[in-house]
Chain A
Amino acid sequence: MRKSFFSPLFIKRIKKFRSFKRGYYSLLIIGTAYLLSFFSEFIINGNALLVKFDGKFFVTLYNSVSLKKDIFSKSIKAREDYFEYKTSLAGDTLNSKNEKLLSLKSKHELYDRIKKDFDNHRTLKNILKEQKRGDWVLLAPYPYSPNENLLDEMGDKNPPTKPDGQHFLGTDDRGRDVFARLVYGFRIYMSFSLLLTLTSYTIGILFGAILGYYGGKVDFLGLRFIEIWASIPFLFTVMVISSIMIPNFTILVVILSLFYWISMARYIRAEFLREKSKDYVQAAMAIGVSDRRIILSHILPNSLTPVISFLPFTIISGIAILASLDFLGFGLPEPTPSWGQLLSQGISNLSSWWLTLSPMAAMFLTLILIAFIGEAVREALDPKIYSRMR
């Protein structure tokens, strides 16, 4: 007779967590938003999702190379056909009444027009619609890409333009849609922060565990190393590195992880110092468990208090640090959709309030929701609730 996969205690804690409505709903919101953001290409995209052209289907979600090739070759063909026919009729004065010539001409002109504008799928859609040849373009519900320059469609307005029905949050100073940039930025910021937390915690936990478990000289040297390492001014280092080479997502995660692990290493070291002297560790040694297993599977699960209590704050600070680096211009390179970069645009265009307000609101919401989740997790794991003594 086997009990359920999760221990009853775990189920109890899940229930407890769900009873904290604020945290539970925050988790639902953030979770859904983050999950949805992985499908944002289907929702917010200047590229059409699917194009039917001359009876053929083209999936243009990420790129429209095949569609372009098709249109290109067809336009060349139409042009050749037209001129070939025209020269074959050379000298004929009834040119203008030759039906075949006219149809070839109109086809040639249509393809030429499409060729001119096929990068912009919104225009392409209109052209194809006008032609009524059974071709169509399926656009995303919000048909603007985050990195797409919309200057051509603005008419006499100058970027940044105000929020309106087409652009929910207006456009930025380079004529890109702010809403699209915010949503794509959310995906990048959340992924960045989660990845940064994961890597820096892994380094910090392993380092701290080794220092705390082995103690003695290892501990002494390790602590001195931490002290020296921690005294490096990390923001400046990141700036220096970013100005030497153009950082990308991975490089930034690596650089920041190099500094972010320190505090976790200290906490885990302290936990290990306390836990390793407990009897169960000696008992585990006495049955021949290897050091690695004792560290990872015996002591570590008993030392996760700091991890649980600091996790939400680390995620929050990961988002904040990326925003500030982007703000200063040392973060992710252009044209990556970024909240910090939007903010810095807002500073230089103070009258365009939507440039400052929208990334601020997005950050505020994200950070406070994560903080609520963290609060609920801590409450759910707090054994005080179960104790009889109050």
Chain B
Amino acid sequence: MGKKQKNELLKVENLKTHFMIEEQKAKAVDGLDFHVFEGEFLGIVGESGSGKSVTALSILRLIPDPPGKISSGKVIFRGRDLLGLSWEEIRKIRGNEISMIFQEPMTSLNPVFTVGVQIMEPLMIHRNMNKKEARESAIQMLEKVGISSPELRVDDYPHQFSGGMNQRAMIAIALSCNPSLLIADEPTTALDVTVQAQILELMTEIKNKEKESAILLITHDLAVIAETCDRVMVMYGGKIQEVTSTINLFENPLHPYTKGLMDSIPSLTKKKKRLNAIPGNVPGILNLPPGCPFNPRCKHRMPVCEKSVPELLEVEKGHSVRCHLYNGEG
């Protein structure tokens, strides 16, 4: 990141998204601060239930209300607070300037429309194209995402596509209006490993071609992060635990949780070592432990961990961590 100072494309400040479940407040995302630079490939990694997807949905205000509610915070995109916009205005941003790819390609496409029609839709909504132009564009998009004989496949229904092809089609829909931010919510989770690799390759390729647009990749797979991202954000219990560049994260993880994650990656080089797992489970979102949410599972637990939530501190340039271990030393 050092070479040139890039502009902030998206800045999230103190985002809190809460769900009311049976009269109890579930703090799915609790005070999130981060930013995405223009043209950056940012990864968000974390276990299930750590608030990754809710973060993504909150940015586009797709949280189902009720039960969910974005109770405070700002999502500033190109100088405008998305949370303060009217529905009409946010609708103009969705799919146009910020678009999203979902986890399940097989169910994220409408079964009653052809793939082509679904790629044409954002073009007709946001670019005011007529049917013919939109169809041409849709065919180009399908070609761009690597679907062979696109002029034939454009009239196919999602059930005639394979999972990987559907995900390519989803990417084509998301990219059709040249968004400046693409949010990919676990785009490879539902796919098998070879297809996963192809999709990631496609995304990196797109990233390299479209220098302007930034990608926010959400995953629970560190390998995916390692392959693609410039910078990583580790989430746990609805909060950021560590942010740094990908290389730094793998070489020098600071947070005990990140260290735990690193240790639980199986290695080809080290012999016959039993795989280290982080003990315990992700705490239920309704009964987060007091203090640091990770404290019951942490190896380095101190008395202070149960009392107060640590602050996110910048330990070195471009490397912040939320842990009491680094509180005193700085």
CB neighbours (8 Å) of B94 from chain A are 285-288
Count: A-B pairs, CB below 8 Å: 72
Q: Are B102's CB and A287's CB within 8 A?
A: no
Once the chains are docked, how many angstroms separate the CA of A7 from the CA of B170? Answer: 22
Residue of B nearest to A302 (CB): B112
Confirm or deny: A232 has a beta carbon within 8 angstroms of a beta carbon on chain B: no
Q: Are A9's CB and B121's CB within 8 A?
A: no
**Choice from A7, A216, A279, A287 contacting B104 with Cβ under 8 Å:** A279
Q: Taking the nearest CB of chain B, how far is it from the CB of A363, in angstroms?
A: 37
Q: How large is the interface on A (under 10, 10 to 19, 20 to 34, 35 or more residues)?
A: 20 to 34
Main secondary structure of the interface of A (DSSP, over half): helix
Q: Are A287's CB and B125's CB within 8 A?
A: yes
List B80-102 residues whose CB lies under 8 Å from chain A: 91-96, 99-100, 102
**Choice from B66, B99, B113, B157 contacting A286 with Cβ under 8 Å:** B99
Q: Taking the nearest CB of chain A, how far is it from the CB of B20, in angstroms?
A: 12
Q: Are A280's CB and B111's CB within 8 A?
A: yes
**Choice from B91, B107, B155, B157 contacting A280 with Cβ under 8 Å:** B107
CB neighbours (8 Å) of B112 from chain A are 301-302
Confirm or deny: B7 has a beta carbon within 8 angstroms of a beta carbon on chain A: no
Confirm or deny: B110 has a beta carbon within 8 angstroms of a beta carbon on chain A: yes
CB neighbours (8 Å) of A279 from chain B are 102-104, 107-108
**Choice from B91, B108, B155 contacting A290 with Cβ under 8 Å:** B91
The count of chain B contact residues (Cβ–Cβ below 8 Å) is 33
Q: Are A280's CB and B108's CB within 8 A?
A: yes
Once the chains are docked, how many angstroms separate the CA of A290 from the CA of B103? Answer: 22
Confirm or deny: B235 has a beta carbon within 8 angstroms of a beta carbon on chain A: no
Q: Are B95's CB and A1's CB within 8 A?
A: no
Residue of A nearest to B170 (CB): A283
Q: Are A302's CB and B110's CB within 8 A?
A: yes
Given A3-B155, A282-B102, A287-B121 contact (CB < 8 Å): yes
Q: Are B62's CB and A288's CB within 8 A?
A: no
Once the chains are docked, how many angstroms separate the CA of A9 from the CA of B155? Answer: 12
Once the chains are docked, how many angstroms separate the CA of A1 from the CA of B155? Answer: 10
Once the chains are docked, how many angstroms separate the CA of A288 from the CA of B85? Answer: 14
Confirm or deny: B109 has a beta carbon within 8 angstroms of a beta carbon on chain A: yes
List A284-316 residues whose CB lies under 8 Å from chain B: 284-290, 298, 301-302
Confirm or deny: A21 has a beta carbon within 8 angstroms of a beta carbon on chain B: no
CB neighbours (8 Å) of A278 from chain B are 107
Q: Are A1's CB and B108's CB within 8 A?
A: no
Given A9-B157, A279-B104, A285-B62 contact (CB < 8 Å): yes
Q: Which of B95, B100, B103, B110 has the most chain A CB atoms closer than 10 A to its own CB? A: B110
**Choice from A7, A216, A283, A301 contacting B109 with Cβ under 8 Å:** A283
Q: Which of A7, A9, A280, A287 has the most chain B CB atoms closer than 10 A to its own CB? A: A287
Q: Are B62's CB and A280's CB within 8 A?
A: no
Q: Are A283's CB and B102's CB within 8 A?
A: yes
Given A9-B157, A282-B102, A287-B108 contact (CB < 8 Å): no
Q: Are B110's CB and A1's CB within 8 A?
A: no
Confirm or deny: B60 has a beta carbon within 8 angstroms of a beta carbon on chain A: yes
Q: Taking the nearest CB of chain A, how far is it from the CB of B177, in angstroms?
A: 8
Q: Are B108's CB and A288's CB within 8 A?
A: no
Q: Are A287's CB and B173's CB within 8 A?
A: yes
Residue of B nearest to A297 (CB): B113
Once the chains are docked, how many angstroms separate the CA of A3 from the CA of B135? Answer: 13
CB neighbours (8 Å) of A298 from chain B are 110
Q: Which of A1, A9, A216, A288 has the most chain B CB atoms closer than 10 A to its own CB? A: A288
Q: Taking the nearest CB of chain A, how far is it from the CB of B267, in angstroms?
A: 35
Given A280-B110, A287-B125, A288-B125, A216-B100 contact (CB < 8 Å): no
Q: Are A288's CB and B111's CB within 8 A?
A: no
Q: Are B93's CB and A288's CB within 8 A?
A: yes
Q: Taking the nearest CB of chain A, how far is it from the CB of B206, in angstroms?
A: 17
Given contacts A286-B95, A287-B173, 13 further A-B contacts (CB under 8 A): A216-B66, A279-B104, A282-B62, A283-B170, A285-B62, A286-B60, A286-B62, A286-B100, A286-B102, A287-B125, A287-B174, A288-B96, A301-B113
Chain B interface residues toward A at CB < 8 A: 60, 62, 66, 91-96, 99-100, 102-104, 107-114, 121-122, 125-126, 151-152, 155, 157, 170, 173-174
Q: List 9 A-B contacts (CB under 8 A).
A: A280-B107, A280-B109, A280-B110, A284-B110, A286-B102, A288-B92, A288-B94, A289-B91, A302-B111
